[in-house]
Amino acid sequence: MLKFETSAVLPCSAAALRQFLGCPANLPEISDPDIELQILSAPETVQEGARIEFRIMSFGLRHRMAHEYRQVTETEIFEVLVDGPLPAWQHRQQLQALGPQQCQLTDTVEFQLPGGMLRFILTEERIRESLTTGMQYRYQTLQQMAESGAIG
């Protein structure tokens, strides 16, 4: 599995951020608009064993995917791809309190490249570029929301 990891320090409590991230309805707001994230079905709040089904636009293709939440705690949300274009995709979000109104969010994504013709479109380099751009957007948006009081 290939690994991508990044993190950001945000001006809000870890508990407030966890509550925000634990609501799938908030995901489109913090996702890069270029991927056109559309939630098809999801629980109101993340819970182990629950699924989220969604569509995204990436690399000029519209993909329908499903993730299952495998581990959900006060400091972590871990989900895995159960239906989609890649053979494997795991996303772990970990929260660490740094103070009463400051926390660190670390996102770790592990993935496998597809086979066949799709491998020429979904290359490791392109996936990493997309993850970098997406996480920058995510962290900037979370920063702005925390500063405005929308989180916490």
> Does 119 score more than 90 pLDDT?
no
> Which residues, at least 6 apart from 46, have a Cβ–Cβ distance to it below 8 Å?
21, 22, 23, 24, 52, 69, 72, 77, 79
152 pLDDT exceeds 80? Answer: no
CATH architecture for segment(s) 2-148: 2-Layer Sandwich (3.30)
pLDDT of residue 122: 82
Q: Which pLDDT score, from 0 to 100, does residue 114 have?
A: 87
Structure confidence by residue, pLDDT tens digits, 41-89:
999 999 999 999 999 998 777 889 999 999 999 999 999 999 998 899 9
Specify the residue for token string 């989180």: 151
State pTM to two decimals. Answer: 0.93
Please report which residue ranges of 25-123 form alpha helices under DSSP H. 27-30, 118-121
